[in-house]
Amino acid sequence: MKLKLFLILSVFLTEGKGFIHWLEHNLLTCPFKSYTGLDCPGCGIQRSFVALMKGDLVSSFKLYPATIPILGLLLFAVAHLKFDFKNGAFFIKMLYIGVTLIIVINYIFKIFTNQLI
């Protein structure tokens, strides 16, 4: 029942053009970017996600390198909470540290190569 409702709603929302098309034209604007014109540390993740949905791994990585690790982290966390792996908590910790490192390095890289504006 819920699935049917969701399918009907998604067809309505996307006007029959597909979910990705709808997603591409309804991106949320970052409040920091809309106010100052500068990128925030999370800017680019939605464009990157859309590119990933289209199957374009390279441009997804170029737009925002941390998207794929973040998705992996979320999926692994859900799987760990459900199935309770043996060293799951440790892997989540390591993945999380990796994700934060990628985000911070990406932002510093952006600052020093003047890609913020």
Partner 1 sequence: MSEEQLPGEEPKKNEQEGDFSSETTPESTNLPAEETVVPVEATSNTSQATGFPPSNGGFPPPPNNGGGFTPNNGGFGGMQQTLPNATIVLVLGILSILTCCCYGIIGLILGIVALVLSKKDRELYATNIGAYTESSFKNLNAGRVCAIIGLILNILYLLLCIVLVAMFGFAALSDQDAMREALQNMQ
1-60 residues near partner 1, rule: CB under 8 A:
30-32, 35-38, 40-43
Applying CB under 8 A, the span of 5-13, 15-23, 57-65, 79-87 interacting with partner 1 comes to 79-87
Shortest reach from residue 58's CB to partner 1, in Å: 23
How far apart, in whole angstroms, are the C-alpha atoms of residue 15 and residue 114? 39
The residue within the footprint of partner 1, chosen from 7, 8, 11, 74 (CB under 8 A), is 74
Exposure pattern of 82-95 as b/e (b: 16+ CB <10 Å)? eeeeeeeeeebeeb
CA–CA gap between residue 40 and residue 31 (Å, rounded): 9
Nearest 5°: phi and psi at 29? -90, 140
Number of CB atoms found within 10 A of residue 109's CB: 11
Contact between 63 and partner 1 by CB under 8 A: the answer reads no
Q: Give the interface with partner 1 as residue ranges (CB under 8 A).
A: 30-32, 35-38, 40-43, 70, 73-74, 77, 80-81, 84, 88-90, 92-93, 96-97, 99-100, 103-104, 117
